[in-house]
Amino acid sequence: MQLRCVECGQTHPPTLRYACAMCGGILEVAGSSGLAPPAGPALANSMWRHAARLSVTEAAAIVSLGEGATPLLRAPRVGRAIPGFRGEVWLKDETRNPSGSFKDRLVSAAISKAIELGAKGVVCASSGNAGASVAAYAARAGMGAIIVVPAHTPAGKVTQIAAYGAILLLVEGHYSRSYDLAAALAERHGFANLTTTFINPYAVDALKLVGLELMEQLDGTAPTHVLVPTGSGPLVKGVVQGFAEAGAWPRAVAVQAEGCAPIVRAFEAGEAKVTAWGMPTTIASGISDPLIGYERDGSYTLRLVRETGGLAVAVSDDDLREAMRLLARGEGVYAEPTGASPIAALRRLVAEGRIAADARVVCMVTGHGFKDGKAYQEMPARTYPVPAPEDVAAVARLCERAMRERD
């Protein structure tokens, strides 16, 4: 097992290295550990049942909270809500991960490898979800953790990070400023950098199991498209790599917010390189990454999308809110704005004829609604005052009227 540069092909030993020594390019894990699945029901029912495919070679180093193996849910009401669509919509519900987002997959693998390599602490830049995950897994491991987030990070995410006891640093400005500070702190303290862009190859490597799980859950038949909320894009790589290792190539769709869409801008312009965005303006905090200083992450994601014949699309905040309502009220799935973005994108792409009406689509629902309750609190709620609860007949009539209004 080695680390290999995705740009120049140079290989490196599997150490705590974050860029190619030859060209500064993105590193990926080449090979796997062959580690036998660890014993115990908690690990056996997690992503670690596929430990042999990951990078950790010592079972004693594994830090797990039961991540992975998330459900795949058929979403017929979502499908019916899209005019003209007659295909299949599936939801890969990553909100079921221990800290409420898909980031737990990356962090479990990365912190386990960091422990194996002798790290004494971890640091992470985050827009919220990765920070919560790193803080949780560091608490589980008994390690020190420094989490760096933009000062405007949603309160729900900040509260969750703080609850786990990590050192929490709030930085004014966009996410890329937090990214730079986390990198500097990791170098200064000798901590492992668990920032969940492409910087940690052991973290990104774990995401290939998403594609593997989807193939298992779909009985070996790949979907036509997988829609992925996209900041820098490691989940796009994981989906593409996992399916490719299973011999399948669904089209990857990178979904961004209109208020922060550097990859979409390059895709639509036919460019090979992504340029950085300015200050993001979107409610989708999980994908509000302007890529300032690490634009090559976006360029690599763009390359992967094009290799699958896929798409990159941006959606508005209004479309995100409507998608959140549809998921919650139609399918019972409570997603933050970022997690609902694939639903918003699907509606647009079907309407524009860029996804066929009979497509078989998987939407990656990446983060739980409790991460950003403010977005729901701002939506109209169906609440009805009951001045006389003892008048059951009147309350029943009220309920009947409310049901009719709902329908």
pLDDT score of 323 more than 60: yes
Is CATH 3.40.50.1100 correct for 72-100+207-377?
yes
| Model pLDDT, residue 353 | 97
pLDDT, mean of residues 240-257: 97
| Model pLDDT, residue 42 | 79
Per-residue pLDDT band at 277 (split at 50, 70, 90)? very high
Question: What percent of the chain is modeled with pLDDT above 90?
Answer: 87
What does the alpha-carbon distance between residue 210 and residue 241 come to, in Å, rounded to a whole number? Answer: 9
pTM: 0.93
b (16+ CB within 10 A) / e for 292-301: bebbbbbbbb
Helix 295-307 to helix 262-269 angle (10° resolution) is: 50
pLDDT, mean of residues 112-123: 96
Question: What percent of the chain is modeled with pLDDT above 70?
Answer: 100
Specify the DSSP element, H or E, that contains 294.
none
What does the alpha-carbon distance between residue 390 and residue 241 come to, in Å, rounded to a whole number? Answer: 60
| Model pLDDT, residue 339 | 97
Query: Which residues lie below 8 Å from residue 323, measured CB to CB, with a gap of 6+?
Result: 315, 340, 341, 342, 343, 344, 347
| Model pLDDT, residue 236 | 98
What does the alpha-carbon distance between residue 344 and residue 254 come to, in Å, rounded to a whole number? Answer: 12
**Which tokens sit at 321?**
């809110």
Pairing of strands 360-365, 88-93: parallel
CATH of 2-62+103-203 among 1.10.287.3510, 3.40.50.1100, 2.30.40.10, 3.60.15.10: 3.40.50.1100
172-175 long-range contacts (CB < 8 A, ≥24 apart) are 173/279, 174/150, 174/279, 174/280, 174/288, 174/290, 174/292, 175/125, 175/127, 175/150, 175/280, 175/288, 175/289, 175/290
pLDDT, mean of residues 34-39: 90
Helix 129-141 to helix 103-116 angle (10° resolution) is: 40
Hey, what's the torsion of the CAs at 65, 343, 78, 90, to 10 degrees? -50
pLDDT, mean of residues 197-203: 96
- CB-hemisphere CA count at 13 Å for 247? 3
What does the alpha-carbon distance between residue 127 and residue 322 come to, in Å, rounded to a whole number? Answer: 22
156-160, 232-236, 318-322: segment of lowest average pLDDT:
156-160
- Looking at residue 376, the DSSP 8-state letter turns out to be H
CATH 3.40.50.1100: which residues of the chain?
Answer: 2-62+103-203, 72-100+207-377
Task: Find, among 40, 100, 99, 94, the residue nearest to 69 by Cα.
Answer: 94
pLDDT, mean of residues 104-130: 95
Per-residue pLDDT band at 278 (split at 50, 70, 90)? very high
Average pLDDT over all residues of the chain: 95
b (16+ CB within 10 A) / e for 47-75: bbebbebbbbeebebbbbbbbbbbeebeb
| Model pLDDT, residue 363 | 98
pLDDT per residue as tens digits for the range 38-94: 888 878 889 999 999 999 999 999 999 999 999 999 999 999 999 999 999 999 999
pLDDT per residue as tens digits for the range 327-339: 999 999 999 999 9
pLDDT score of 406 more than 80: no
| Model pLDDT, residue 407 | 55
What does the alpha-carbon distance between residue 9 and residue 213 come to, in Å, rounded to a whole number? Answer: 28
pLDDT, mean of residues 351-363: 98
pLDDT, mean of residues 152-174: 93
Which amino acid appears at position 126 of this protein? S
pLDDT, mean of residues 15-29: 96
Which amino acid appears at position 331 of this protein? E
**Which tokens sit at 53?**
């495919």
Angle at 199 between CA 246 and CA 208, to 5 degrees: 15
